[in-house]
């Protein structure tokens, strides 16, 4: 049955099917309080009548500006019946985020869509009738919001806050043989699964199209190992959160990129998002300079004469994108490869994923090692136990490696490049065209 939504200018509304008439929204509404003080009882913005919350005035303090919204009614509702703060639903997401070149393809919009009608094929696609609930907009990490408490300044702290920074690699041969660098991500996930710290992990695996990844909820070590290795095209990882929760998983490990890790933080700001975040036990995130469109990968394969079906590994080192094939290693100038990056990557300031539990990447460490940035107490405990048990080998990151890491992180922290014709670029990539 379709929800009966009462909306008003600016998109705030009430889902009558969820509302229990508790009165919390009416009690906290500043508009109601202001009118009551003026002796006008029962004529505020949001009141409960006949057992359901209703709007009796369009004079909300929000005044159609999301950044100025007080969110009192939304936060006070125990049933998530208040729809807030955006109107026009997917139509607005498409106009202000997707076509504007701001979409990271993280999958958060698909995860929170109540009717499960948003799919991600590099970009979100609507597969049904949108009810204009606004959840996709509220939880989109690219939708501008006012600064939040505890927000990290990447200009001042390019690496974010952390407890420990080391170089490490996995000891197990079965992991090292398929790993991108040190195999740390795979080692962490398999160890956490074995110890019961997680009961499944969301990893990126190849789809029916070679090197076009999709998220997989891996519940065995073999499935986790199958997801080893970095894919440089988008996987809508967060879209798997809803399925994982519905499947009964309660302690999820997840491998993210900085934009996806930022989206997880956005989920924590709402009751709906917290339902999904409650099952995330460990967030392991990868260093990221940029993510490439799949159409761009296809064009590069044609230009440089290799088949994606035969590629064993992609790796960015220095100023090159190296492609390992049975015939040898293809060296593609990184500058050329980055012509095919998502427009949103040009606005991302986070290189090392400052919101993760553990951040992992190759920059700063010797060959066959990964640089590991441990950010939370929970992650530090897991990592130290793995070292004690001989599962991973650790060494210090030298001054040269640390300086390089700081340099790249600082460069990206200033990444505020204006997008040039982003709508044109997105349209071309959706159609399978080239870069710009």
Q: Cβ of 1: how many Cβ atoms within 10 Å? A: 4
**Of the listed ranges 247-261, 365-379, 413-427, the one predicted with least confidence:** 413-427
List 252's β-bridge partners, or say none.
200, 280
Question: Computed from CA positions of residues 345, 348, 350, 354, in that sequence, does the dihedral angle turn out positive or negative?
Answer: negative
Distance CA 261, CA 255 (A): 9
Distance CA 156, CA 352 (A): 14
Q: Is 0.85 surpassed by the pTM of this model? A: no
Q: Which tokens hold the place of 253?
A: 């490990």
Mean pLDDT of 68-88: 64
Q: Which tokens hold the place of 370?
A: 């990964």
Whether 435 has a pLDDT exceeding 70, the answer reads: no
Mean pLDDT of 355-363: 94
In 200-251, beta strands by DSSP E: 200-206, 213-218
Q: What sections of 120-177 are H helices per DSSP?
A: 135-138, 173-176
Whether 39 has a pLDDT exceeding 60, the answer reads: no
Q: Cβ of 14: how many Cβ atoms within 10 Å? A: 26
CATH architecture of 5-83: 2-Layer Sandwich (3.30)
Whether 27 has a pLDDT exceeding 60, the answer reads: yes
Q: Which one is predicted more confidently, 178 or 305?
A: 305
pLDDT at 70: 64
User: Considering the domain 89-138 in this protein, what is its CATH number?
Assistant: 3.30.70.20
pLDDT at 397: 94
Distance CA 330, CA 382 (A): 37
Farthest CA pair distance, the chain? 83
Mean pLDDT of 15-30: 74
Distance CA 306, CA 299 (A): 10
Q: Which tokens hold the place of 364?
A: 């700063």
pLDDT at 63: 42
Whether 358 has a pLDDT exceeding 70, the answer reads: yes
Cβ within 8 Å of residue 81, ≥6 positions away:
14, 15, 16, 18, 19, 20, 53
pLDDT range class, residue 417, cuts 50, 70, 90: very low
Distance CA 344, CA 163 (A): 29
3-state SS string over 265-322?
Answer: HHHCCCHHHHHHHCCEEEEEEECCCCCECHHHHHHHHHHHCCCHHHCCEEEEECCEEE
pLDDT at 330: 95
Q: Where in the chain is the domain with CATH 3.30.70.20?
A: 89-138
Question: Computed from CA positions of residues 65, 67, 69, 74, in that sequence, does the dihedral angle turn out positive or negative?
Answer: positive
Cβ within 8 Å of residue 403, ≥6 positions away:
none
Q: Which of 156, 173, 280, 294 is nearest to 234 (CA)?
A: 294
Distance CA 123, CA 135 (A): 17
pLDDT digits (tens, 9 = 90+) for 208-226: 899 999 999 999 999 999 8
Question: Computed from CA positions of residues 231, 204, 391, 385, in that sequence, does the dihedral angle turn out positive or negative?
Answer: positive
Q: How far is CA 80 from CA 20, 76, 99, 397, in A?
A: 10, 9, 29, 47
pLDDT over 70, % of the chain: 75
CA angle 361, 107, 310 (to 5 degrees): 55
DSSP state of 233: B
pLDDT range class, residue 108, cuts 50, 70, 90: very high
Mean pLDDT of 373-394: 96
pLDDT at 12: 59
Length of the chain: 436
């Amino acid at each position: 049955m379709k929800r009966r939504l009462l909306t008003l200018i600016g998109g705030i509304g009430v889902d009558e099917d969820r509302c229990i008439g508790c009165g919390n929204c009416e009690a906290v509404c500043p508009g109601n309080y202001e009118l009551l003080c003026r002796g006008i009882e029962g004529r505020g913005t949001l009141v409960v009548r006949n057992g359901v919350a209703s709007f009796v005035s369009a004079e909300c303090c929000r005044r159609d500006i999301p950044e100025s919204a007080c969110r009192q009614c939304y936060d006070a509702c125990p049933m998530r019946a208040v729809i807030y703060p955006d109107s026009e639903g997917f139509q607005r997401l498409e106009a202000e985020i997707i076509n504007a070149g701001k979409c990271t393809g993280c999958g958060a919009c698909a995860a929170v869509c109540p009717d499960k009608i948003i799919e991600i094929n590099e970009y979100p696609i609507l597969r049904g009738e949108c009810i204009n609930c606004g959840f996709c907009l509220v939880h989109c990490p690219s939708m501008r919001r006012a600064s939040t408490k505890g927000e990290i300044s990447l200009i001042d702290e390019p690496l974010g806050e952390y407890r420990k920074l080391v170089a490490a690699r996995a000891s197990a041969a079965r992991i090292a043989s398929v790993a991108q660098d040190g195999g740390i991500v795979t080692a962490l996930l398999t160890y956490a699964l074995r110890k019961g710290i997680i009961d499944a992990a969301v990893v990126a695996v190849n789809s029916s199209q070679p090197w076009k990844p999709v998220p997989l909820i891996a519940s065995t070590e073999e499935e986790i190992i199958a997801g080893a290795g970095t894919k440089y095209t988008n996987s809508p990882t967060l879209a798997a959160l809803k399925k994982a929760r519905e499947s009964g998983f309660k302690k999820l490990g997840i491998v993210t990129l900085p934009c996806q890790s930022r989206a997880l933080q956005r989920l924590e700001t709402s009751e709906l998002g917290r339902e999904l975040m409650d099952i995330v036990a460990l967030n392991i995130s990868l260093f990221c300079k940029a993510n490439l469109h799949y159409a761009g990968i296809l064009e590069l394969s044609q230009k440089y004469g290799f088949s994606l079906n035969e590629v064993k590994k992609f790796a960015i080192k220095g100023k090159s994108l190296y492609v390992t094939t049975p015939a040898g290693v293809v060296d593609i100038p990184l500058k050329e490869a980055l012509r095919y990056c998502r427009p949103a990557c040009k606005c991302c300031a986070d290189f090392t994923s400052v919101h993760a539990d553990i951040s992992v990447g190759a920059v700063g460490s010797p060959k066959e090692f990964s640089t590991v940035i441990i950010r939370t107490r929970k992650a530090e405990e897991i990592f130290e136990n793995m070292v004690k048990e001989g599962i991973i080998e650790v060494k210090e990151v030298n001054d040269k490696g640390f300086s390089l890491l700081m340099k790249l992180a600082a460069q990206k922290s200033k990444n505020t490049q204006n997008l040039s014709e982003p709508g044109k670029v997105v349209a071309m990539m959706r159609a399978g065209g080239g870069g710009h």
